[in-house]
Structure 1
Amino acid sequence: MKRKYGNRKVVLNGIRFDSLREAERYSQLKLLERAGQITGLELQPRFELIPKQRRDDGRPERACEYVADFRYTDARTGKQVIEDAKGMRTRDYIIKRKLLLQVHGISVREV
């Protein structure tokens, strides 16, 4: 089946990635972690952008979340880095990236 944005799911080290770009970046980050340049590598960290709510009629609205590809700490600076391996910047992604900055003060590093 041809995917909408041309990406193909990839399995690397038993981990399923949404694209080859994301899997390759994971491999690079693992090397940086082994070299001590980054610490605390985490996959798919979630950030709540808008909490769940109830409509006037009582029906629930789900929370809105941003799910990044990676989170880690740069060992040199001690700063947390949120990263996304992007091939295509969708409208939803751009809005959520802006909300992440507004709500949490976090900028996303795109690779």
Structure 2
Amino acid sequence: MTKYRAIKTDCDHGHTHDSRKEAARCNQLHDMEIDGAITDLRQQPSFAVNIGDSYICTYVADFEYRVQDCRIVEDVKGVRTAVFQLKRKLVEATHPGVVVTIYPPVRRKRRKAKKVAT
């Protein structure tokens, strides 16, 4: 168990994932690939971040796949850390055409209406 309480879990296809949520997403993506909705599914694709001649870091996503001609890089997140946000921006800036998506999508909380004193 990690500091975010993630438990390593195997998916139905024999891969070990860092969390139950990631294993469930792997199962969904494999089903989508079988149905023909996506192609070229890869696990743990890595992207080296270089600025000029300097190596900065390596970003390892959870999944990469194609929807028609669009390349999707996906990361399953329960907690969006500052390090993740920074690496995501660096990858998108140094690798043209790569957009890192987050699963599950961010849900915005609705604000409660303020009570008006009468």
TM-score range, shorter chain: 0.7 to 0.9
- Could you say which residue in structure 2 is the equivalent of 1:11? 10
TM (normalized to structure 2)? 0.78
Structure 1-normalised TM-score? 0.82
Query: Structure 1 vs Structure 2: percent identity of aligned residues?
Result: 38
- 1:27-64 CA distances to partner (integer Å, 9 max, x unpaired)? 000111000010000000000013785xxxxxxxx751
Task: Structure 2: state its 5+ residue gaps.
Answer: 104-118
Runs of at least 4 residues off by over 2 Å = 50-53
In structure 1, runs of 5+ residues without a counterpart are 54-61
Which of structures 1 and 2 has the bigger CA Rg? 2
Matches within 5 A, 1:24-43: 24-43=24-43
- Aligned positions of 1:1-111 closer than 5 A: 2-12=1-11, 13-50=13-50, 64-75=57-68, 78-105=69-96, 106-111=98-103
Q: CA RMSD in A?
A: 1.7
Aligned residues: 100
Higher relative contact order (CA 8 A, sep 6+): 1
